[in-house]
Amino acid sequence: MLYGYRVTNKEEVGLYNADLVQISFYNGWGMGIEELEEAVSLCKEKKIRYVIHPVNFFLSEARTQERKETMEVLRKAARLTDMALILHDERVPPGSRLFGLWDKYYREALGELERTCKVSIENANNSHDVEWFWRNYASSLTIDIGHLEAAGINAQKWVKNFPSDLLDKVEYIHLHRNNGFRAGLTDHWPITRKCNEVKALKELLNRTSDIKVILEINETEEMEENLRILGELG
């Protein structure tokens, strides 16, 4: 098991001792492409392996101008990627599985990005139905354990019963704790040694150790202690 942490600005690159970092950037908030490029340059300068995680960019976007703008950003991110580009699963606007043009656009965009870099798909929009999404679209999986718990799923049991054919595709884990509302979210709290999310990770490590675990916590002042917890597991 390798482990690392999320950065949302270039100043956080190399701030903590870890095997890798995840550079997360959000559509309409935080760092843009220029700062992403600077964060990537810092990773290369400091010889830190990294993944890139664009958030709120949708491959199934059907509106012409929005799709053009989305793909311009994602193409650049793909060219900058080191280990993988991590993207969320998607649903159509009414909330159901992708179909029709949404399915067509998603497959076309995913195929284009995969010709440039590895793309790993994370459960984010519908953890209850993500196995269907992974089987239909993903060659690499990112399991977000915090999202499972936030969706009301017992992550420890879910991991224990996770199908073996999909387990072979798991490369990345997002880890954070579900601990009640703040700023509109119940997740992305710091982990503890006995929280459900860490128990689920331990269960997963009983089945496979060839994974990269990425901390996605909002309270960065607890990052060192949380990385220490991961170090104890590895």
Residues 6+ apart with CB under 8 A from 49: 4, 19, 20, 21, 43, 82, 83
61 phi and psi, to 5 degrees?
-50, 125
Helix (H, G, I), strand (E, B) or coil at 125: coil
**Which pLDDT score, from 0 to 100, does residue 142 have?**
98
**Which pLDDT score, from 0 to 100, does residue 73 have?**
97
pLDDT tens by residue, the chain, 234 residues: 999 999 999 999 999 999 999 999 999 887 889 999 999 999 999 999 999 999 999 999 999 999 999 999 999 999 999 999 999 999 998 789 999 999 999 999 999 999 999 999 999 999 999 999 999 999 999 999 999 999 999 999 999 999 999 999 999 999 999 988 877 788 999 999 999 999 999 999 999 999 999 999 999 999 999 999 999 997
The letter for the amino acid at 162 is F
Q: Residues of 220-229 as b/e, b for ≥16 C-beta within 10 angstroms?
A: bebbeebbeb
The residues facing 23 across adjacent strands are 7, 52
**Which pLDDT score, from 0 to 100, does residue 30 have?**
75
**Which pLDDT score, from 0 to 100, does residue 61 have?**
96
- CA dist., res. 5 & res. 17, Å (int): 9
- CA dist., res. 32 & res. 55, Å (int): 12
Query: What domains lie within the chain, and their CATH numbers?
Result: 2-233 (3.20.20.150)
**Which pLDDT score, from 0 to 100, does residue 101 have?**
96
**Which pLDDT score, from 0 to 100, does residue 234 have?**
75
Joined tokens for residue 162: 């996770």
**Which pLDDT score, from 0 to 100, does residue 94 have?**
73
